[in-house]
Amino acid sequence: AIVIFGSINIDIVARLEALPKPGETLHAPAAQIGLGGKGANQAAAAARLSGSARLVGQVGNDAFADTARTALARFGVDASALRTDRDHQTGLALIAVDARGENTITVIGGANLSIAPTDLPEFEKVLFPAKVLLLQLEIPLAVVRTAAQAAHTRGVPVILDPAPVPHEPLDPALYALATVMTPNETETERLVGIRPHDAQTAADAAAVFHQRGLARVLIKLGARGVFWSADGESGFIPPFRVTAIDSVAAGDCFNGGLATAMAEGRPFADCVRFAAACGALATTRHGAADAAPTRDEVDELLRS
């Protein structure tokens, strides 16, 4: 199975004409309450595409934990290995969006941040039926490092989405422990100091990732497509033509798709194309986890 070790949030989204200013109270007609957090989003995408994805992580001791479990079950994610941290809240994102799509987001990391490297022995039992392990950086960096090390020791491929890029420098050991990393444009710039905007600049950035010990890198260029460089080969996948309305979680669906294709043992270039199709389809729908495409939709776009 595909195993995702990462964050679980509940997103509470209010849509308003304008964002409230400091001291101001505004009324929104409704709030949307949905599943979020990069771990949960990527698990939802992988489950929808592959039919078998397990999410490992922590929720808190509150009603939002039940909301998260119910939503995960609806996507077909195996959430049986989620741990409850009685001392912390479930992760929350309070999101306000104005009429122009501008937003403000407040994240309460809660139980996502209370996982410690010393918890790893307990987590390993549920992490390592993994055929592919998918990691992001919304749980503590030291935990990501320990999990990547454990996967590496067992020969389990690791996809590391370096998002969000931490303020402190990324642990250099992660470059050699990850099988593949999937930074977007801003993450690439923050990590290697080169802003990629086309195949050439992406190749320049990829060279720096390789110098640091990373074997394979996929540089997500949003509506410009994706550049990949792996094992001495490289390529550029132009964007699939879709009607994009909401880019939220395009990267998460991309990663869920990449994990799905890698778990099926496809050639690497095919895995990248499959992932890019998933990312493109995600932009045709609103929402985070809800934006994940089905296998039929991906196959159809790949044939087009």
C-alpha to C-alpha distance for 109 and 106, rounded to whole angstroms: 10
Closest distance to ligand ADP from the beta carbon of 23 (Å): 33
- Residue 111 CA to residue 229 CA, distance in Å, equals 35
161 part of the active site: no
Residues in the chain: 304
Contact criterion met (CB below 8 Å) for 36 and 118: no
Q: Which of residues 36 and 251 has its CB atom nearest to ligand ADP in the complex?
A: 251
Smallest gap from residue 63 Cβ to ligand ADP (A): 29
Whose Cβ is closer to ligand ADP: residue 34's or residue 279's? 279
Helices (runs of H) and strands (runs of E) counted in the chain: 10, 15
Establish whether 38 is an annotated binding residue.
yes
Query: What is the full DSSP assignment across 60-119?
Result: ESSHHHHHHHHHHHHHTEE-TTPEEETTSPPEEEEEEE-TTS-EEEEEE-GGGTT--GGG
Is 285 assigned to a binding site? Answer: yes
Rounded to an integer, what distance in angstroms lies between the CA atom of residue 174 and that of residue 144? 9
- 37 annotated as ligand-binding: yes
**Shortest distance in whole angstroms from residue 241 CB to ligand ADP:** 7
Q: Which is nearer to ligand ADP, 65 or 282 (CB)?
A: 282
Residue whose CB is less far from ligand ADP, 75 or 240: 240
CA distances, 185 to each of 188, 192, 233 (Å): 5, 11, 20
Sites of contact with ligand ADP (CB under 6 A)? 184, 220-223, 225-226, 239-240, 242, 244, 247, 250-251, 254, 276, 279-280, 283
Sign of CA dihedral 154, 155, 156, 158: positive
40 a known binding residue? yes
Looking at 78, 85, 252, 290, which residue is catalytic? 252
Beta strands in 158-248 (DSSP E): 158-160, 180-181, 216-220, 226-230, 233-237
Q: Is 221 annotated as a binding residue?
A: yes
Smallest gap from Cβ 161 to ligand ADP, in A, equals 7
Residues assigned a catalytic role: 252
> Which residue positions form the known binding site?
9-11, 37-41, 138, 184, 220-225, 246, 248, 251-252, 282, 285, 287
> Which residue positions form the known binding site for K(+)?
246, 248, 282, 285, 287
> Which residue positions form the known binding site for ATP?
184, 220-225, 251-252
